Each structure stands twice: as C-alpha cells, then as structure tokens.
Chain A
C-alpha cells in the first residue's frame, strides 16, 4: 500500500486500482453467492468491513489475474475488466460486471490529490455494489464466474492466457454505478443482468 504523501504516481495508482479490483471481485462473489458464505472471512479495508475468500484455488486464481492486471495498468494497455457470471446448467451468461478503465498518460504531479478522497470514492463504489443486490434477480442455479480483460489489440498475450469472446448477455438491462478516479486512472463501473420474463 503506497501512501504517497505528495501525490500519486503511476505505480501507486496501478496498485490502488488493482487492490480495489481484488476487494471488489471478492465482494461480488460474496454478495451474489457464487461461493458459499462460509468460505469468506471478514477483513477491514477502506475503513469498512469487507469479505475475502479463504478458498485456496480461488485465491490463487485471483492473485494471478490481479498481478498481471497491475502490470498492464502500469503500461496503460488495459481498457476494461469484466466479471462474467454464467449459469452452469444452461451455459447462459446471467450477469456482467464491467469496469471501464481510462488511463491518463499525460499526467502531472498534482499536489491536491489526496488518498482520503480516493478512498472515499472507492468506499462508495463498493457500497453501491453491495446495494445492487436489492434489484438484481436471484441466481437460483449453480453459477461460476470468469474474469475477462479487454486490452489493446497489439498486446502480447502471455502464456496461460487465451483470447475469448466478450460473453455478452442476450437481452440485458444495464445499470451504471459510480466511478472513482486517481487522476491517472479512472474506473467506471456498471452492471448488466439478464432480463427476467416473470417481472
């Protein structure tokens, strides 16, 4: 955790954003019940209590993805991160949590930028993710999740990564959530879910 005093550097901003994603994805998995609640433990972050998984395989997977994502954030080659939730029985995509990233390469070292304000914004985003549970349709069947990263076309794909489709939802409703910015990276959040016919 880089509590830079004067301002935020590119590296610090990348670390902040990657940390946010790590906790955000854990929150989404806990709230949507992709993994059982007993496999999560409570931690304190951003002055609020969040859930973090204890499943070893899942932790391993997340750390792999987040570390690679941090590198790409530093290079400003990543455009979006998407959490795709698919139903295992029908192989349909039920929810898509999409985080757009805008990287401002021509940054100056600002002296107004404060860590506390960024933290406040991140807090509000995570609270909003928790609040979306009220209007998202229930996931009744067993589901699994996947993390997709939208990058520049010319990026070299490392081993263990492969190209995939965007895994869009057929007949979706979209809701835009809050965004936060570290003046170098701007993260816009939105959630798309499959329209249920019973409403």
Chain B
C-alpha cells in the first residue's frame, strides 16, 4: 500500500511539477507583450521566480524523493523486519527444535550415562566376582597343592609304614624263632623245676618237723622259766614273811612307845608357848641392850666431837681476834674468804691478760723491730733528703738574696744611667730592662714558692709515709699471723690423719698378734702339745723310713734269690702251701727243659756229623732259608755252595758264589739240563776228589 501511496505521491508531484512548468511558461508568455524594460525585470523576476519555483520544485522533488526513499526504506525496513521476523520465527522454531533435540539428546545422554553406570557397576561386580573367583581358585589351588603334598606325605608315610611292617614282620619271625627256642628251654627248666619242687617239698616237710620240735622246745623252756620265776617269787615271799613276822613281833613295843610319845607331845606343846614368850622377851631385852650399848658408844663419840668442836670454835673465835678483821660469825669469815678469792681470781685474770698482752706485744715488738729498723733507715733517708732540700732551699734563698742584690745594683746602675743620660731615649730601654728585671724577680719568686711547696709536700709525705709504714706494719703482722695460723691448722689436720692411720695400723698389728719386744715377751711351756706332736711325727716318719728301707732290701733279695727267703728278714710272710707246690713244679719243669735241650743238642750233633761223613757235605744254615754246603774235599775253607729254599715244597735254588762260578759246566749240565741237585752235588764231590787225588 505504501508503494501505492508512494506512487500516488510521485504522480501527484509530477503533476504539480508539470503544472508549474506550464504556469511559468504562461507567465512568460503573458508577460512578453508587455514593454521592453519591464519585460527584463519581469523576466528576471520571473526567472527568479522560476528559479525559486524550480528550486522549490527541486526541493520538493528532493523531498519527494527523500520521502520516497524514506518510504522505500521504510518498506524495505518493513520487509526486512518481516523477513527478520520470519527468520526469527524460523530460527526460533529451529531453536525450539534444537532445544527439543537438545533435551532429547540430554535425556539420551542421561540414559546412556545411567546405562554406562549400570554397565560399570555390572563391570565392577563382575570384576569383583572375577577376583573372588580367582581367589577361590587360588585357594582351591592351594588346597589342591596342600592335598597333593599331604598325599605325597601320606604316600611316604605309607611306604615307611610298609617298610616298618616288613621290619616288624622280620622281627616277629625272629621273635618267634626265639620263642620256640625259649619254649624248649622252658620245658627243660620246668622239668628241673619239678625236680626242685619235689626236693623243696621234702625239705619243707623236714623244716616243719624241725619247727614243731623247736616250738615244743621253746614252750618247754618258757614253762621252765615261769616255774623258775614262781620259785623266786615264792622265795622272796618267804623272806618277806619272815621279816613281817619279826616286825609283827615288835608291834606291842611300838604301841607302848607311841603312847609315851603322845604324852610327851602334849607336854611339849604346853611348854612351847611358854618358850616362845620367853624367847621374845629375851630378844627384846637383847635388842635393848644392843641399842643401849650403841647409844653409849655414840654418846662417847658425840662428847669427843663436842670437845673437838669447842676447840675449833675457840680457834675460829680467836681467828677473828688474831687477824683483826670484823669477824664474829663464820659467815663473815666465809664472806672474807670469798672476797679474797674473788680478788685473787681478778688478779689472776688480770695477770693472765697482762701476760698474754705482754706476749703479744713482745711478739709484735720483735716482729716490728726489723721493720722499725727499716723504717728508721727510710726515715733517715727522708731526713737526709729533707736536709738536702733544706740546703737547696737555703741555697735558693741565698741566690734570691744575691739576685735581689743584683737587681738593686742593676736598678741603681740603671738609675745612675738614667740620671746621667737623657731619659726620653733610654727610659723605654730602662723601663724594658726594669720590666725584664721585674719579670726575673717574679720568676725567681715563683720558683721560690714552688720550692717551698715542694718542701712542705716532702714533709707531709714523710709524715704520711710514717703513718703508712705503721699501718703496713699492722697489716703485715696480721697477715703473717693468719698465715701462721692456717699453716698450723693444716699441719694439725695432717698430724691427726697420720695419727688415725697409725692407730689403725697398731690395732691391726695388735689383732694379728704383734707386740712391742721392748715391753713384752712371749713364753710357753717347753713340753707343749705342738712340740710333742711334732716330735711324734718326726719319730713316725723315721720309723716309716726305716721300715721302707727294710722292705726295699727284702724285695731286692726276693728278686735276686728267686724264692729262697730265709735269712735276716724280720718280716717273714709265711709261705703258703700253693706257692711251695708251684715252686717245686717250676723247678721240675726247668730241669726237664734243660735235659731236653741237652738231649736235642747231642742228637743234632750226631746227625750232622753223620750227614757230613755220609754225603760229604757240611750243611749250615746261615740265614733263614739259605743253606751253605762245604765239601769234605774242598780245596779252600771258603769254598761253599749256597742254596736258597723257595716255597714250602722243598725246592732249592743255587745262589751265586765264587766257588760256584768255577763250576759253571757242572751247573749247566746237572742243574739246567738234568735239573737234579743230588747229581750235581755228587758230581762236585767227584770233581773235587779227583782234583785232590790228582794234586
């Protein structure tokens, strides 16, 4: 619509323009027939109006254009807005769709996540199950292994047990065999047992018989003892009866005596009381007597004492008169005595203090003496110094005087000079000189005062030095005394320690039994058990030695003699019969041996000579199996053949000798070829015999 409106406006504007254009043309035309000058102005004004109208139109067209443009713009804007709204709608729809999709996707995602979680859980569970299963599996595996091992062990055990059973079976067999043998033994033993039982029965019977007889004998003995006892008792009874008879006979006499005694008793009891009374009286009288006697003695003593005391009293009373003091009573005397004693004590105290002070003062004095000497020397030195200084002072004073005199002289000279010469020129010089001189004077005065002060100081120092010396003296004395005290105390402690040590040593020494030979000696009886025991011991030892020696000699003799022990042995062991028999047997056996030896010797000698003569060879055995044959017809003594026995059979071999080397032909012939030793030997004898007979 807007477009339409725009179009309408545009058309309207066009129309207006056109109208305008036409107007101005008319206006132009209308105006032309008007006059020349008004025409230009009119033209101009028309032009101007036209221009203005054109400008108005232009501006109007511009406006219209602008409005159109604006409308177009607005249209386009609207379109755009619409499009945008459409797009927005579409986009919103898309958005919603997307949102829905998003939601759906989120839901899906959640579901998927849930599924995933479930799946994970399931997975974990499965894993756990898996692990559990694995564990179970492992456990089962272990169990299986254990069971295998157990099985193996069981197998081993089984095999061992089988071995054991085999062994046990063997043992059982052995045991059975032993058992059988033992059964046989048992049977034999049982037979023996039967025999022994029979014997036992016999013996038991005999024993029973013996016992019965023994019991009967004991019973009879008991009966005998009882009878004997009864006999003894009866005898005792008889004796008692006899005694009783005698006593009974005495009875009437005793009765008479009893009566008499009773009478006496009553009489005595009566008199007893009187007696006791009388005794008490006598005792009382005796005591009185004693008391009286004691009283008399005391009275005598008292009288004696009284006299003594009277004498003493008179003496005491006289003391008062003799000494002249105001003494009437002993109390005064005691008071006087106490006073005197107090005075004496005070005086003594004073005396002691004075003595101690004197000693201390003397000690101090003696110690101070050298120091005083030192100080005196020092004082003397100081004095000398002072004197020197005094002399110096005097010299200085003299110098001062001299200087003053010089000064006066100089002044006089100067005045003279002043008086002689003009003063204006020389007065300053003189004044200068005067000033110089005055300065010199002042210097000298100051020097003087200084010297005086020095002198005073020196004097003061000397005085203070003396004081110091005195103080030092005291201090030195004090320090010295302290040192001495400390040294003495340390010495005392050391000495105490040494004393203690020595006392302990002495105690130990005393305990162990030591003594001081200067003051004590140790004695004992000569015949005391220890010496006696020692003597006995030495005697025993001597005896034992002598016995030992005797036994040794006897032993030697026994060994040397060979059984004949008859002479000078004091201890003769009686030879038992066995030993004698054995000795005889030994002797006979030895004799037999000797005879046999002689016989064998003879026989051997005979046999050998026979062999030599018959065979012509002397056979000697040199070494164990070697036999040396020397022929009868041997040319030299050393010619011999050596044969060695090989084997137990009796085969012999010829050994090489010098002689056999000369007989090699015979050896080859007879021994190697013919293998006969007797032939060889006979051949050798023939050879030698032929040699001998020939030569």
A91: interface (CB < 8 Å)? yes
Q: Are A98 and B513 touching (Cβ within 8 A)?
A: yes
* Known contacts A166-B513, A166-B514, A176-B511; A146 and B524 CB within 8 A of each other: yes
A162: interface (CB < 8 Å)? yes
Interface string of B498-536 (1 = CB under 8 A from A): 000000000010111111011111111111111111100
Q: Are B511 and A160 touching (Cβ within 8 A)?
A: no
Chain A residues, CB < 8 A from B517: 153
A58: interface (CB < 8 Å)? yes
**Interchain nearest-CB distance for B530 vs A (Å):** 4
B537: interface (CB < 8 Å)? yes
* Known contacts A79-B520, A147-B524; A192 and B512 CB within 8 A of each other: yes
Task: Give the CA-CA distance A25 to B526 in the complex, in Å.
Answer: 18
Q: Are A153 and B530 touching (Cβ within 8 A)?
A: no
**Interchain nearest-CB distance for A137 vs B (Å):** 17
Interface residues in A153-170 (C-beta closer than 8 Å to B): 153, 155, 157, 160-169
Q: Are A164 and B515 touching (Cβ within 8 A)?
A: no
Chain B residues, CB < 8 A from A190: 511
Candidates A96, A142, A149; contact of B513 at CB < 8 Å:
A96
Candidates A61, A146, A150; contact of B515 at CB < 8 Å:
A150
Chain B residues, CB < 8 A from A155: 521
Candidates A58, A145, A166; contact of B522 at CB < 8 Å:
A166
**Interchain nearest-CB distance for A154 vs B (Å):** 9
Task: Give the CA-CA distance A160 to B528 in the complex, in Å.
Answer: 10
Please give me the residue from chain A that is nearest to B531 by CB atom: A146
Q: Are A162 and B524 touching (Cβ within 8 A)?
A: yes
Task: Give the CA-CA distance A58 to B529 in the complex, in Å.
Answer: 8
Q: Are B519 and A152 touching (Cβ within 8 A)?
A: yes
* Known contacts A98-B511, A166-B513, A192-B513; A150 and B537 CB within 8 A of each other: no
Chain A residues, CB < 8 A from B508: 174
Task: Give the CA-CA distance A121 to B528 in the complex, in Å.
Answer: 30
Q: Are B523 and A149 touching (Cβ within 8 A)?
A: yes
Tell me which of A10-18, A81-89, A105-113 binds B: A81-89
* Known contacts A146-B529, A146-B530, A153-B519; A174 and B524 CB within 8 A of each other: no
* Known contacts A88-B537, A146-B529; A161 and B513 CB within 8 A of each other: no
**Interchain nearest-CB distance for B284 vs A (Å):** 30
Q: Are A153 and B518 touching (Cβ within 8 A)?
A: yes
Q: Are B529 and A145 touching (Cβ within 8 A)?
A: yes
Task: Give the CA-CA distance A65 to B527 in the complex, in Å.
Answer: 11
Interface residues in B467-519 (C-beta closer than 8 Å to A): 508, 510-515, 517-519
Q: Are A163 and B511 touching (Cβ within 8 A)?
A: no
Task: Give the CA-CA distance A58 to B527 in the complex, in Å.
Answer: 11
Q: Are A163 and B533 touching (Cβ within 8 A)?
A: no
Task: Give the CA-CA distance A165 to B525 in the complex, in Å.
Answer: 13
Task: Give the CA-CA distance A174 to B520 in the complex, in Å.
Answer: 22
Q: Are B520 and A152 touching (Cβ within 8 A)?
A: yes
Task: Give the CA-CA distance A161 to B523 in the complex, in Å.
Answer: 6
Please give me the residue from chain A that is nearest to B519 by CB atom: A153
Interface string of A128-145 (1 = CB under 8 A from B): 000000000000001011
Task: Give the CA-CA distance A127 to B324 in the complex, in Å.
Answer: 74
Chain B residues, CB < 8 A from A152: 519-521
Q: Are B522 and A168 touching (Cβ within 8 A)?
A: no
* Known contacts A148-B524, A161-B526; A169 and B512 CB within 8 A of each other: yes
Task: Give the CA-CA distance A84 to B513 in the complex, in Å.
Answer: 11
Interface string of B34-57 (1 = CB under 8 A from A): 000000000000000000000000
Q: Are A164 and B519 touching (Cβ within 8 A)?
A: no
How big is chain B's contact interface, by range? 20 to 34
Q: Are A64 and B534 touching (Cβ within 8 A)?
A: no
Interface string of B521-565 (1 = CB under 8 A from A): 111111111111110010000000000000000000000000000
* Known contacts A174-B508, A174-B512; A163 and B522 CB within 8 A of each other: yes
> Is chain A's binding surface mostly helix, strand, loop or mixed?
strand
A172: interface (CB < 8 Å)? yes
Candidates A80, A147, A169; contact of B525 at CB < 8 Å:
A147
Task: Give the CA-CA distance A155 to B518 in the complex, in Å.
Answer: 12
Task: Give the CA-CA distance A84 to B511 in the complex, in Å.
Answer: 14
* Known contacts A150-B515, A168-B514; A88 and B522 CB within 8 A of each other: no
Task: Give the CA-CA distance A162 to B520 in the complex, in Å.
Answer: 14
Chain A residues, CB < 8 A from B530: 84, 86, 144-146
Interface string of A181-199 (1 = CB under 8 A from B): 0000000001010000000
* Known contacts A84-B530, A144-B534, A176-B511; A150 and B521 CB within 8 A of each other: yes
Q: Are A151 and B521 touching (Cβ within 8 A)?
A: yes
A100: interface (CB < 8 Å)? yes
Q: Are A61 and B523 touching (Cβ within 8 A)?
A: no
Task: Give the CA-CA distance A153 to B528 in the complex, in Å.
Answer: 22
Chain A residues, CB < 8 A from B537: 88
* Known contacts A166-B513, A166-B514, A190-B511; A153 and B521 CB within 8 A of each other: yes
In this complex, the member of B508, B513, B518 whose beta carbon has the largest number of chain A beta carbons within 10 angstroms is B513
Chain B residues, CB < 8 A from A144: 529-530, 532-534
Q: Are A147 and B518 touching (Cβ within 8 A)?
A: no
Chain B residues, CB < 8 A from A100: 510
Q: Are A164 and B533 touching (Cβ within 8 A)?
A: no
**Interchain nearest-CB distance for B446 vs A (Å):** 95
Candidates B514, B522, B529, B534; contact of A164 at CB < 8 Å:
B522
Task: Give the CA-CA distance A144 to B531 in the complex, in Å.
Answer: 8
Q: Are A148 and B511 touching (Cβ within 8 A)?
A: no
Task: Give the CA-CA distance A161 to B522 in the complex, in Å.
Answer: 10
Q: Are A61 and B528 touching (Cβ within 8 A)?
A: yes
**Interchain nearest-CB distance for B523 vs A (Å):** 5
**Interchain nearest-CB distance for A13 vs B (Å):** 21
Task: Give the CA-CA distance A145 to B533 in the complex, in Å.
Answer: 9
Q: Are B523 and A163 touching (Cβ within 8 A)?
A: yes
**Interchain nearest-CB distance for A116 vs B (Å):** 30
**Interchain nearest-CB distance for A35 vs B (Å):** 9
Q: Are B526 and A148 touching (Cβ within 8 A)?
A: no
Chain B residues, CB < 8 A from A166: 513-515, 522
**Interchain nearest-CB distance for B532 vs A (Å):** 8
Task: Give the CA-CA distance A98 to B522 in the complex, in Å.
Answer: 13
Please give me the residue from chain A that is nearest to B515 by CB atom: A150
Candidates B510, B519, B520, B525; contact of A61 at CB < 8 Å:
B525
Task: Give the CA-CA distance A107 to B529 in the complex, in Å.
Answer: 37
**Interchain nearest-CB distance for B111 vs A (Å):** 101
**Interchain nearest-CB distance for A28 vs B (Å):** 13
Q: Are B528 and A151 touching (Cβ within 8 A)?
A: no
Q: Are B521 and A163 touching (Cβ within 8 A)?
A: yes
Q: Are B521 and A192 touching (Cβ within 8 A)?
A: no
Chain B residues, CB < 8 A from A80: 513, 515, 520
Task: Give the CA-CA distance A157 to B523 in the complex, in Å.
Answer: 8
Q: A144-B532, A152-B519 are in contact. List 15 more A-B contacts (CB 8 A).
A: A61-B528, A82-B513, A88-B533, A91-B534, A98-B511, A142-B533, A149-B524, A150-B515, A153-B521, A160-B526, A161-B525, A161-B526, A164-B523, A166-B513, A167-B513
Interface residues of A, Cβ cutoff 8 Å to B? 58, 61, 64-65, 79-80, 82, 84, 86, 88, 91, 96, 98, 100, 142, 144-153, 155, 157, 160-169, 172, 174, 176, 190, 192
Interface residues of B, Cβ cutoff 8 Å to A? 508, 510-515, 517-534, 537
Q: List 10 A-B contacts (CB under 8 A).
A: A65-B525, A79-B515, A100-B510, A146-B528, A149-B523, A150-B515, A150-B520, A163-B522, A164-B523, A169-B512
